[in-house]
Structure 1
Amino acid sequence: RIEAVPEYAYLTAVQRESADDLARRAARLREEVLGHDGLIDRDAVWRLKREALELLHEVPRGPGGQAEYEAYQRREGEWLRRHALWNALAELHGADWHHWPKGLRHPNGSQIEQAAKELAERIEFHRWLAWQVDRQLAHAQRSAREAGMPVGLIHDLAVGAHPDGADAWVLQDVLAGGISVGAPPDAFNAHGQDWGLPPWRPDALAAAGYAPYAELLRATTRHAGALRIDHVMGLFRLWWVPQGHPPTEGAYVRYDAEAMLGVLALEAHRAGTAVIGEDLGTVEPGVREELAERGILGTSVLWFERDWRSGGGILPPDRWRPDCLATLTTHDLPSTAARLSGEHVELRHRLGLLARPLGEEQEEASAELEDWRAELVEQGLLAPGEPLSMPVLYRFLRATPAELVGVWLPDLVGDPRPQNLPGTWDQYPNWRLPVADGA
């Protein structure tokens, strides 16, 4: 947040005039989003913010700020230097490091030292940007705790990083080239999934003493009251998809789960951070039990909690596991408003993501809602004939013994659009949607 950078208060009159102009342009950009197609132009946002941040970077830091900055650089060390170096190189040669000059494609490449000297000013700028992010995260967590929130921020550790980005460039010796992470065909996606993210190499990670993985956890838990681990089953095994092949031709590759969980437990303990695992989808036997033994909460989504061993009936609230985050949906699933209206089936049909005829999918979705209506009536949470609604479903979650209940922000305003639609990249505007009132 530009205005929250301390140096913002010390801009000169000329600099402040430039900053105010950028703020007016940003306001027009927000108006365009609301009045045009409703999508965030993140590239345009970044161009404005970068210009504003470059102004702020010129402001001299006082002795206290400089000492804090130097301490941050010592703490982050080589990882920070390489991150800033990648950003400076990307500005010059493009975002895909695979197409850079050969001597720059590896952090220890033959041309790296010379490039670092030539790009010293830009490297310093990107190092300073990382510091600003760290400061604002620390402030947000501190403010949350002071406001009485026992957990505060819950950070998210994704299952991987973009194959062309800084992480993949820095960590290429411990990531598998020509491979991406995904998921096999399941009830949610009959075609399987390819997420386009390079996985850890189990052998290289072990040879490195799990240091890159530990550093990632250390950085992610630093200002977090809890850490959510995306696709936590990936600590046990991951579905590897060879480049150029469909997800159906992938295979599971195993990891040393004891080591992966041990490093996670150590770093979470050091940071005083709780851990929530997203254990949804294809989960092999024993995984949830092992996670629970180590104090890692699972994720229980209302629509999936059924007694699959005895006919698949809805699991009543008193039979839910207590060691979980209970929620109606996630960023990868349909919004609750869309489930209640059936819009989620129509959207997947328009994008060609259904494995069965539209009518069959709609009948199944309607039957599921009727099952839930009957269950809620039986639980005394819904009167006979009363329409199924979001508040009633959240009351059901509150009746479970779950340690945490998650309320999805778009659900608060009835936004029917999914935030992310797995299996798509350019077919649907994933991550460009602002939260919008669906009423």
Structure 2
Amino acid sequence: MAQLDSNSSAHSYNSNKAMFDYLIEQKGIGSNFVDAWGKPTDIKISNQLKILRSMGYEVDNIEQLESHLEDEIVSYWLTPLAPVVVNRVNESLHIQFRVTIDAAAKSHTLKIKLESGEVSQFKFVPVDYPLLQSQQINDIEFHEYAIDVPAIETLGYHELQILVNRKIIARTPLIAAPQACYIPNNIQQGQKMWGLSVQLYCVKSSRNWGIGDFSDLNYLVSQAAKLGADFIGLNPIHALYPANPSACSPYGPSSRLWLNYLYIDVESVPGANTDTFTQWMKQSSVQQKLVSLRDTEYVDYEGVADVKLAALQIAFDEFTRINNTGPVKDEFDAFVKAGGKSLQTLACFEALQMHLKEQNKPHWGWPVFPEDMQNADDKAVTKFAKKYKDKVAFFLFLQWQSLVQFEQAGQIAINAGMNIGLYRDLAVGVSEGGAEIWGNKDLYCADISVGAPPDILGPLGQKWGLPPMNPSQLTAQQYQPIIELFSSNMHASGALRIDHVMALLRLWWVHQDDDATDGVYVNYPVDELLAILALESVRHKSLVIGEDLGTVPDSIREKLQQNGMYSYRVFFFEQAKDGGFFSPSHYPEQSMATLTTHDMPTLIGFWHCDDLALGKELGLYPDDDVLANLYDTRHENKQHILDTLHGHHSISDAISKDVHYVGMTKELNFGMQTHMAGGSSALLSLQLEDWLEMDKPVNIPGTFNEYPNWKRKLSLTLEEIFAKEEVHTLTAQLNQKRQQASY
């Protein structure tokens, strides 16, 4: 049961409990949950009311609230069909149809127009079907009926229409989805695969400009494929902020629909092969800058952005000078046309943000834009886009080249024989000041951040600064935002990892003024979202992996599995009640296994407790007792790990069985990786950092400026990595173990 906390809304709640309880239930706002340690936890009613307020309900003004609810009821009954209908192919379908009592006895025609243009129809009389409910609106009685619709056999985005006397009186999208996500045949037949998970920005090479780029990805793909890898998993490569490069978290993007231009290989874009560009490149100041950027231990995002934007501007100017007409210009124009409104929104946002920066005005995000430009559809924004069309076109050009180069990497993976190729990572949300929210303010609750309640990874809870989509608005917009999101992130990829996959079921909402512990779970239409995910997965032939860590109800993993989604199993979290670690041979076949993640220490960092020492230094633990307990637990876990590695003969007797005498060595490191390769998971993901025996983490959850998150580079260049004999030895062992585990 929810807990009532004393605040200004308490009296309103107590006086109108039935109405508030109805609203809380209707909007999917949770009242309790089971935490990461299995403890039932109640939600404060005051926090629930904050969520309602963020959704647009005047909880402190009962008269306005009642009027709002009345308007919603009237709108519901005056709208004959739901905003969108989602169903699985070959399953029975019942649609809810609302009609006046006078019209209920008349003949209607239900028409289904398939995506292909094919049409089927049948006549029906509403009163011949089950009556669900009725309502009086302005002295007119409405009835709602459950109309049986023939099962749809064709996948796709169709349209359902209802006609009376050949006149369309209602229409709505009808989404027909497969039963499950796409799974490649060889995986279905039992083949076990391995690949690498890579933070692309941390990749070093002899030629990049201080940050990993798509040409580095081409090289990485081709070299890894030669060693037997079947995929390269990427950190989120979503669009960030060209005018604010220090906002570098890949999990806090401006838009998840488009790409981060910093990954462009500048020297490969149209316009970079001209004399003007070549002369610019030859300048000693430019060459010195590039050497300096390559040599830094951490990515200098400001420096990289400065030099890349300058170079790309020259290349773009040369491109437009040379390509007034012709096939290359036609290709660019076709890309812009296909990108539609979301592409124009992003390019205009970035041009406006850069314009404000050049004028030394506040520019970090749309909340500090001029008041008449805080919505993408504002007239002042339209005028800006026309006046500065060349600036907007520049950012359109960057997205075009980002996509072209990413697609090239995907094709190289296919040509190299990778069974999956590239797999992308979909962030759980977008940052509060970004283009995606600017372009669709109605969809997001801007004063809310998603996050996580306290768990093992974040003992104080987590608040990520990412406003959530309002589930009601998502439905009202006919799921189009989520369709575009899945489609764009599966494009040219063989798999998609969904970060915090629980977002399809529920998200932890925290008001911007509250701590992460004062959150509320808000539910989403999981079955419909999973159906859309399955449809896009099949269309793009993209396998789906759901990151199902943290506070996850038992029932959701079964639902995800039934929908063909692959679970995400991290070795360090797979423990029995007695503390022992499960053998990877007991992991579900329908899973991706891994040793560590971007939110965890490297193998050396874990073994030497570097993460705990860093956590103490950064103040992440509430008190010394908590930290002492974590050290004790880590010591016990390391002993259990040694026990399981020795028990499965994954390491030799040269390594002691007593943890007191064992430091992290190459044999132990590689032994843990080959131990995982012998497991039953269809997919095994390994980190380049562990191949290189690195100790610093790439990210520490719960920190912002306290640690250089998302900046630490790899210790060696790609050329050096693939020249190492021990890498070839390790991958040969991985291939052998994976082959033995197959079939």
Question: Could you tell me which amino acid in structure 2 is paired with residue 196 of structure 1?
Answer: G
Contact 2:423 2:493 in 1 (8 A): yes
Partners of 1:403 and 1:32 lie apart in 2 by 38
After TM superposition, the structure 1 = structure 2 runs for residues 300-319 of structure 1, keeping only pairs within 5 Å, are 300-308=569-577, 311-319=578-586
Matching residue of 1:78: 341
Matched, 1:371 2:640: yes
1: CA distance, partners of 2:584 / 2:394: 52
Higher alpha-carbon deviation: 229-238 or 377-386: 377-386
1:137 lines up with 2:401 in the alignment: no
1:64 CA displacement: 1.9
In the alignment, what sits opposite 2:458?
Answer: 189
Secondary structure of the residue aligned to 1:306 is coil
Kindly state the Cα deviation for residue 396 of structure 1 after the two structures are TM-superposed. 1.5
Equivalent residue letter for 2:347: A
Residue 368 of structure 2 corresponds to residue 89 of structure 1? no
Q: Supply the distance in 2 between the matched residues of 1:203 and 1:24 (Cα, whole angstroms).
A: 53
Which residue pairs with 1:58 in the alignment?
A: 317
Query: Which residue does 1:396 correspond to in 2?
Result: 675
Between the aligned partners of 1:29 and 1:172, the Cα distance in structure 2 is 41
Counterpart amino acid of residue 27 in structure 1: L
SS in 2 for 1:153: strand
Structure-2 separation of matches of 1:421 and 1:150: 32
Tell whether 2:593 aligns with 1:326. yes
Q: Which residue of 2 aligns with 1:420?
A: 699
Task: Using the TM superposition, give the Cα deviation of residue 360 of structure 1 relative to its aligned residue in structure 2, in angstroms.
Answer: 3.0
Indicate whether 1:5 and 2:274 are aligned.
Answer: no
Could you say which residue in structure 1 is the equivalent of 2:74? none
- State the shift of 1:426 in Å: 0.5
How far apart, CA to CA, are the structure 1 residues paired with 2:271 and 2:682? 41
Name the amino acid aligned to 2:712. L
Q: Which secondary structure does the structure 2 equivalent of 1:66 belong to?
A: helix
Could you tell me how far 1:32 is from its partner in structure 2? 5.3
Alignment RMSD: 1.6
Residue from 391, 404, 407 that aligns with 2:686: 407
Distance (whole Å) between structure 2 residues aligned to residue 190 and residue 145 of structure 1: 42
The residue matched to 1:15 in structure 2 has which SS?
A: helix
TM, length-normalised to structure 1: 0.94
> What is aligned with 1:217?
486
Residues 31 and 75 from structure 1, CA distance in 2 versus in 1: closer, same or farther, beyond 3 angstroms? closer
Cα distance in 2 for partners of 1:371, 1:285 equals: 25
Task: Write out per-residue CA displacement over residues 197-237 of structure 1, whole angstroms, 9 at most, x where no aligned residue.
Answer: 11111010000011011111111111111111100011100
Answer 1 or 2: which has greater strand percent.
2
Contact kept? 1:163, 1:198, Cα under 8 Å: yes
Aligned amino acid, residue 65 of structure 1: V
Contact residue 239 and residue 251 of structure 1 kept, 8 A: yes
Distance 2:316 2:622 in 1: 52
Counterparts of 1:80 and 1:317 in 2: how far apart (Å)?
A: 43
Q: Do the aligned partners of residues 274 and 23 (structure 1) sit closer, same or farther apart at CA in structure 2, a change above 3 Å counting? A: farther
Report deviation, 1:148: 1.2
Distance 1:32 1:137, change over 3 A: closer
CA distance in 2: counterparts of 1:56 and 1:353, whole angstroms = 46
Deviations 1:61-96 (A, max 9, x none): 362211211221121111111111101110122232
Separation (CA, whole Å) in 2 of partners of 1:4 and 1:411:
31
CA distance in 2, matches of 1:136, 1:266: 26
Q: Give the CA deviation at 1:384.
A: 3.9
Cα pair 2:496 2:545 within 8 Å, conserved:
yes
2-structure distance, mates of 1:385, 1:351: 37
User: Structure 2 counterpart of 1:239, which letter?
Assistant: W
Q: Name the % identity.
A: 31
Structure 1 gap segments, 5+ residues each: none
1:148 counterpart residue number: 417
Which residue is 1:174 aligned to? 443
Paired letter, 2:620: L
SS at match of 2:271: helix
Partner of 1:131, secondary structure, is: helix
The answer (yes or no) to whether the contact 1:72–1:131 under 8 Å persists in 2 is: yes
Residues 1:121 and 2:380 are matched in the alignment: no
SS in 2 for 1:411: helix
Q: Distance in 2 between matches of 1:360 and 1:292?
A: 35
Q: Is the 1:291–1:297 contact (alpha carbons within 8 Å) kept by the matching residues of 2? A: yes
Shift of 1:385: 5.4
Q: For 2:640 and 2:623, how far apart are their aligned partners in 1?
A: 21
Preserved contact between residue 293 and residue 300 of structure 2 (Cα < 8 Å):
no
Q: 1:18 is matched by which residue type in structure 2?
A: W
Tell me which of 517, 521, 545 is aligned to 1:248: 517
Q: For structure 2, which runs of at least 5 residues remain unmatched after alignment? A: 1-264, 357-362, 656-661, 717-743
Please state how far the C-alpha of 1:98 moved relative to its aligned partner. Answer: 0.6
Which residue does 2:185 correspond to in 1?
none
Q: Distance in 2 between matches of 1:96 and 1:68?
A: 31
- What displacement does 1:379 show? 1.3
Instruction: Give the counterpart letter for 1:175 in structure 2.
Output: Y
Query: CA distance change for structure 1 residues 136 and 26 in 2, over 3 Å: closer, same or farther?
Result: farther
Which amino acid in the other structure matches residue 591 of structure 2? C
CA distance in 2, matches of 1:32, 1:151: 33
Cα deviation, residue 23, structure 1: 4.7
Q: 1:17 aligns with which of 271, 276, 279?
A: 279
Measured after TM superposition, the shift of residue 147 of structure 1 is 1.0
Tell me which amino acid in the other structure corresponds to 2:374.
R
Report if the CA contact (8 A) 1:26-1:45 is conserved: no
CA distance in 2, matches of 1:204, 1:248: 26
**d(CA) in 2 for partners of 1:149 and 1:181?**
36
Count of aligned residue pairs for this structure pair: 429
Distance 2:545 2:637 in 1: 27
Q: Quick check: 2:579–2:640 contact (8 Å CA) kept in 1?
A: no
CA contact (8 A) 1:40 1:432 kept: yes
Deviates more, 1:238-247 or 1:374-383: 374-383
Kept in 2: contact 1:176–1:199 (CA 8 A) = yes
Higher helix fraction (1 or 2): 1
| Counterpart in the other structure of 1:44 | 303
Tell me how far apart the structure 2 counterparts of residues 259 and 23 of structure 1 sit (CA, whole Å).
52
1:106 matched to which residue of 2? 375
Amino acid at match of 2:618: L
Q: Deviations over 1:311-357 (max 9, x none)?
A: 44321232111111111101011111101222111111111112452
Partner of 2:603: 336
Provide the rounded CA distance (Å) in 2 between the counterparts of 1:110 and 1:58.
28
Contact 2:277 2:311 in 1 (8 A): no
Deviations 1:374-408 (A, max 9, x none): 11111122234515611111122112111111011
CA distance in 1, matches of 2:609, 2:277: 52
Change (3 A) 1:402 1:31: closer
Aligned partners of 1:284 and 1:66: how far apart in 2? 52
Cα drift, residue 25 of structure 1? 3.8
Question: CA-to-partner distance for each residue in 1:351-370, whole Å, 9 max, x for gaps?
Answer: 11124524332222111101
Q: Which aligned segments of 4 or more residues in structure 1 are displaced greater than 6 angstroms?
A: none
Provide the C-alpha distance between the structure 2 equivalents of 1:266 and 1:95, rounded to a whole number of angstroms. 36
Distance in 2, Cα, partners of 1:5 & 1:15: 11
Kindly provide the amino acid, as one letter, of the partner of residue 430 in structure 2.
A
What amino acid is the match of 1:5?
V
Distance in 2 of aligned mates of 1:355 and 1:409: 33
Specify the code of the residue in structure 2 equivalent to 1:224: S
